[in-house]
Amino acid sequence: MSALASVLAIELPFDPNITEIGGFLLTWHGLFTAVGILVGVQLALWIARNTNFNEDDAYTLALIGIPSGIIGARLLFVVEHWDYYGQNLVDILALTEGGISIWGAVLGGVAGPLAFAIWRGWDIWKGLDCASVGLIAGMGIGRIGDLINGEHLSKATDLPWGVIYTHPDSPAFAHSIAVGAHHPATTYEMLGDFVIMGIAIYLVLGPLRRWPGLTFFFFLISYSVMRYFVSMLRLDSADTFFLGVTVPQLVSLIVIALCIPPVVYILRRGPVEDPAEPLPPGRVRVKQA
């Protein structure tokens, strides 16, 4: 670690627990997870209104996506840490003790509403576009809680910045003593999330408005690429799956590969006119036979 890095390291003295009310423990991580869900749902509904996707349908899908995302987040975390949970099966249900996977939240949060929308025969492509903006917003806001309490451990920094956690109850307290200033890896991810969110909003309301589905796959592919490289700095996901690839990196590669066929399909399908949108002056909508 360079001298400059140690000089510019930010000390974070926060207790990861905010308060306890009637036996309920309120943590920074839990608070910003809740805020992220609320903001993400509202943003998805706003996109729905502005892209002529039925707002009631969008709200229904959001209500399904929240629990399915939580279940997915927990399940993938358990898979990543099966060495422990395989010997302590009861602890799989101990959600209040922490332990979730952001990739699990994304995949679960998409799978549940997608299955329901297909069953109901709704416009899945527009629905996915709305969901993408809400998901990436919620993910970014949730990472604020990770920054405050030191939820994830990262490598020592050799850059002109880093973080040190000084509260004894912080998960990163002992790590900060051992390695000194380290990368705020989840904060890099948070910033990347907000950049992706901004671009996704621009795309779904602008250039890709008549290409439903592409904004969603832009979100998935861009987040996968970012997460692959951010994971190189993470130590709590250091167990490799194959050829030095960690589980989050493997999921990123699989997601990118799975995105290719639907993207090709959408590009071959071409742009889709929305009957609810007025046509530009001089154009006439032709009814299909």
d(CA 205, CA 190) in angstroms, rounded, equals 23
pLDDT (tens place) for every residue of the chain, 289 residues total: 444 444 578 899 999 888 877 777 778 888 898 899 999 999 999 999 999 998 899 989 988 988 898 888 888 778 777 777 777 777 677 665 556 778 888 888 899 999 999 999 888 999 999 999 999 999 999 899 889 988 888 999 988 889 999 999 998 999 999 998 999 999 999 999 999 999 999 999 999 999 999 999 999 999 999 999 999 998 876 565 566 788 888 889 999 999 999 999 999 999 987 665 654 545 444 443 3
Would residue 99 be called left, alpha or beta, if left means φ above 0 and alpha means ψ between -120 and 50 degrees? Answer: left
Structure tokens of 104? 């699990």
pLDDT, residue 1, reads 44
pLDDT, residue 158, reads 86
pLDDT, residue 251, reads 86
* Dihedral sign, Cα of residue 149, residue 233, residue 195, residue 248: negative
pLDDT, residue 245, reads 83
Per DSSP, the three-state class of 101 is coil
pLDDT, residue 239, reads 61
d(CA 285, CA 190) in angstroms, rounded, equals 43
Per DSSP, the three-state class of 25 is strand
DSSP character for 228?
A: H
DSSP 102-145: HHHHHHHHHHHHHHHHHHHT--HHHHHHHHHHHHHHHHHHHHHH
pLDDT, residue 107, reads 87
Q: What predicted TM-score, i.e. pTM, was given to this entire model?
A: 0.86
